[in-house]
Amino acid sequence: QVQLVESGGGLVQPGGSLTVSCAVSGRTQDIYAIGWFRQAPGKEREGVSCISTIDGTTYYGDSVKGRFTISGDNAKNTWNLQMNSLKPEDTAVYYCAADMAVASWFLGDMTYWGKGTLVTVSP
């Protein structure tokens, strides 16, 4: 089993920045992809970003390209999502997820999930 715990959510003003983190534990040797998703009230879950833990290749959803950056430390099993130029429409619960394959992020169907952390962008 793999456990994921998100942290770092909170309230931020439009145009501001925030970093959310994901601590991964358990059978991490089976994990080759870390993904971030978000879900706003009344909306479907959206893929935000993904990183391959094998070669560091990153992927982003169209709505966050150029504003968000995913990074992490394989040795520490900690993965971060740095969010810049935040907009009110970025308000959502942000979930960290993990799987053996990056393809699972594109499918929106990763195996392991955290409980989420709320990010609110408001004046």
In the block, tokens 């195996």 appear at 111
Residues of the chain with pLDDT under 70: none
Q: Closest by alpha carbon to 108, among 53, 24, 44?
A: 44
| H helix intervals, 1-123 | 103-106
Which residues have a Cβ under 8 Å from the Cβ of 87 and sit 6 or more positions away?
14, 121
What angle is formed at CA 120 by the lines to CA 118 and CA 123, rounded to 5 degrees? 165
Residue pair 20/6 in contact by the 8 Å Cβ criterion: yes
- The whole-angstrom separation of Cα 98 and Cα 33 is 6
Determine the pLDDT at residue 74. Answer: 82
Determine the pLDDT at residue 75. Answer: 86
